[in-house]
Amino acid sequence: MTAPVTVAGTAPEVSADALVRPAWRRLRFWPALVLALLVGAVAVGTVTTSPSRPLDPDSPAPAGGRALARLLAGYDTSVTRTTALATALAAARGRDGNGAAVLVADPAAYSAHQLTRLARATRRLVLVRPDDRALAAVAPGLRTSSTSGPSDSPGCRAPGPLAAGPVDWPGDTLTVRGGAGVSCYDGAVLLTGTATRSVAVLGSAALLHNEHLADEGAAALAVDLATADRSLHRVVWLLPGGDADGAGPASVWDLFPGGAYRVFWWLVGVGVLLALWRARRLGGVVVEPLPVVVRSVELVEGHGRLYDRAGARDRAATALRAAAVRRLAARLGHHDAGSVRSGAAPGDPVALVAALAPLTRRTPAEVHALLAGPVPADDAALVRLATGLDELEAAVGGALTEGNR
């Protein structure tokens, strides 16, 4: 048998600094957390107040529209940025009766009914790269086409395109076909309506971006389309908001105020930092001055309980006999004792039985019954088998000891 192994240690010395340090760490966490919250709030507020959506008149990004907004202001044209359809409708009608132009940066975000209301309320409605549904709402018969590209030259007699001249079109330009109206630049610009209610369709959103407005003819054409050949001095710049109920795919962030997703990801970052801070406070492994008892027979006892629970007396007997045969064969130098192996059924170790019988003063039949006999019928028989195998090994050990004297 193997005796339990006892590991004992002595208590480590703890200094006064080690006792004070955890308290200091607990106290310094709260100021650090407050500072992190303040810095994060300022960062989120700064990012949120800096528009970054495409064609936003307040955005200085390459895809923003600030350059066009300032260019319109240089022509004594006021620009009103809004994300509310009701505000755009009210501003388009105006109090002075002169009306205004409405530039819809993303027509696909609005329903056909909303676009129809805008077309009836404003003197000039500018649709930037609309889809077929938006075109059908304001000008039945029009459709987009991707089979042919735009032309650099106006190709029409409309005042605005004629004044702008050749235009260097970006690669995202769509052309419009069918319906009534004046088609310019081979469908990249289409003008329809009357002198008091007109619709301008622009097949490219990138043409109005900050990075492309300096291209040939882009600035002049954009100003003429937005101001109805500079006859209007108010432009309402409509961006998609919460009241846009078009066919665009809805997002869960549409239910929250603008910039909410930035706050969410900032909170996720704070949570990760907090988890790292708490994990760091766990410190190293503590060594306790308590005895640790290691039992060498736990695995054997566990196997025995599993065999008992399953009623597997045959497998238990096989394991006992196989282990006994291996040990006895090793002591006697019989490495070819039958076909007994761990987990396999014992064979007929004739040579081992022949050597054990005279050594233990037992008959060969008794030894064979222990090493390769029938399966025990019940638990009591299994216990007797285990006892008999132990006695057999003890007898062999005693005989070998006496023979060596």
- For residue 254, the model assigns a pLDDT of 58
- For residue 6, the model assigns a pLDDT of 42
Query: Is 197 found in the same domain as 326?
Result: no
Q: Please, what's the b/e burial string for 29-54 (b: 16 or more CB within 10 A of its CB; e: otherwise)?
A: eeeeeeeeeeebeeebeeeeeebebb
Domain assignment present for residue 27? The answer is no
Domain assignment present for residue 334? The answer is yes
Domain assignment present for residue 124? The answer is yes
- For residue 146, the model assigns a pLDDT of 67
Query: Is 235 found in the same domain as 371?
Result: no
34 contact partners, CB below 8 Å, separation of at least 6: none
Which two three-digit tokens encode residue 220? 């002049």
Query: Is 326 found in the same domain as 237?
Result: no
Q: Are 343 and 322 in contact (CB under 8 A)?
A: yes
Domain assignment present for residue 339? The answer is yes
Query: Is 234 found in the same domain as 259?
Result: no
Query: Is 92 found in the same domain as 169?
Result: yes
In sequence order, the β-bridge partners of residue 293 are: 6
Domain that holds residue 353: 313-404
- For residue 307, the model assigns a pLDDT of 78
Q: Are 194 and 123 in contact (CB under 8 A)?
A: no
Query: Is 344 found in the same domain as 270?
Result: no
Look at strands 5-7 and 292-294 and give their pairing: antiparallel
- For residue 49, the model assigns a pLDDT of 45
Q: Are 203 and 150 in contact (CB under 8 A)?
A: yes
Angstrom distance (rounded) from CA 317 to CA 264: 64
Domain count, the chain: 3
Domain assignment present for residue 264? The answer is yes
- For residue 101, the model assigns a pLDDT of 93
Query: Is 229 found in the same domain as 81?
Result: yes
Domain assignment present for residue 31? The answer is no
Query: Is 196 found in the same domain as 99?
Result: yes
Q: How far are the Cα atoms of 181, 301, 317, 385 from residue 380, in angstroms, in the given order? A: 105, 18, 12, 9
Q: How far are the Cα atoms of 126, 128, 179, 215, 248 from residue 105, in angstroms, in the given order? A: 8, 6, 23, 20, 13
Distance of alpha carbon 260 from the chain centroid: 18
* Model confidence pTM above 0.75: no
Query: Is 229 found in the same domain as 189?
Result: yes
Q: How far are the Cα atoms of 270, 313, 323, 372, 376 from residue 347, in angstroms, in the given order? A: 68, 18, 13, 7, 17
Angstrom distance (rounded) from CA 226 to CA 191: 12
Query: Is 260 found in the same domain as 170?
Result: no
Query: Is 212 found in the same domain as 79?
Result: yes
Domain assignment present for residue 18? The answer is no
Domain assignment present for residue 28? The answer is no
Residue 270, classified by CB atoms within 10 Å of its CB into exposed (0-12), middle (13-18) or buried (19+), is middle
- For residue 42, the model assigns a pLDDT of 64
Query: Is 209 found in the same domain as 92?
Result: yes
User: Which residue ranges of the chain lie beneath pLDDT 70?
Assistant: 1-34, 40-52, 95-98, 146-148, 245-259, 261, 279-285, 289-297, 299, 335-350, 403-405
> Which of 242, 270, 304 marks a domain boundary?
242
